[in-house]
Every structure is written in C-alpha cells, then in structure tokens.
Amino acid sequence: MRKRGITAVLLAVLLVSSIPSAILADERTSWTQAANGGIIQPYWTYLQKYQNDFYIEPNGIALVEVIASARNGDEIRIEADLQQYRNGNWTSVKNWSKTSAGASCGLSETWYVMSGYSYHMASSVKVYKNGVMVEQSSYVSPTYSY
C-alpha cells in the first residue's frame, strides 16, 4: 500500500514537471521596470531622460516642451512637430528643432491653434557621438481638441 502511494506521488510529480512552462524574455533587453511604482520605460544606452509635454490652453495657445539628456554623447538634437487632424489626415502646423553640444537639450515653444480641430505633438531625439548618431527615440502625445 505504501509503495503504491509513493508511486502515485512520483507519477504526479513527473506529470507536472512535463507540462511546458512559459519562457519569459529578459526585461533588460529592451524594457526595464522602473522603481517608481511599476512604470514601464525604455531601456536606453545613451539617453538618460526624454520628457515631453503638450497641452492647449483655453485661449488656443499650444505649449510644446521637449527635454532630453544623455551621457557619453557629444551632441543632442530634438525635433518637435505640432500636427493638426484635418480631412482625415495629420498635417504639420509648425515644427521646431534644437541642437545642443553636451549632455542636455531642451525646447519650449508656443503656437496659436485654430479652433474646431484636434492636435497632437510628435517629437524625436537623436544622440550623436563623434558625429555619428548612436541612439534615437520618438514620442507622440495624446490628442487634444480645441
């Protein structure tokens, strides 16, 4: 009787261990878990910060802000594009760019928008080292109607 019980337990262990288990990808390859409450953010090599802010004030002024910082790079280039949704397409209303030598770059711009349309902001950042682009990232804001 005891032998039969041991055989049953061993058979159960064998069956459970033969079930395929999920193989999880290593998070560090492209994404990392932030320590600040579980926010997922990109894992960059050179970029340390890439912050975007876009909103439209009640008087129709759109504010576009992009800030980036990097380590071990020589130059940072930021581009921002204010886009309007019209006739089923996103079209550029105004674009800005800024390039800074060193570890950080930022732009803060305003633009009056027309009422009756939806808007969003698309931005990109590129990091250069010895004249060669070594990293880039992009962002598209939520859409706001005015």
**32-66 confidence digits (pLDDT tens):** 444 555 556 667 889 999 999 999 999 999 999 99
Residue 27 has pLDDT above 80, yes or no: no
Residue 84 has pLDDT above 90, yes or no: yes
Triad 115, 117, 122: Cα angle to 5° = 115
C-beta separation of 90 from 84 below 8 A: yes
Which tokens hold the place of 41?
A: 């953010």
Nearest residue to 51 via CA among 61, 60, 41, 38: 41
User: What domains can you pick out in the chain, each with its CATH number?
Assistant: 46-145 (2.60.40.10)
Q: Which amino acid is present at 64?
A: V
pTM for the whole thing?
0.69
Residue 108: strand, helix, or coil: strand
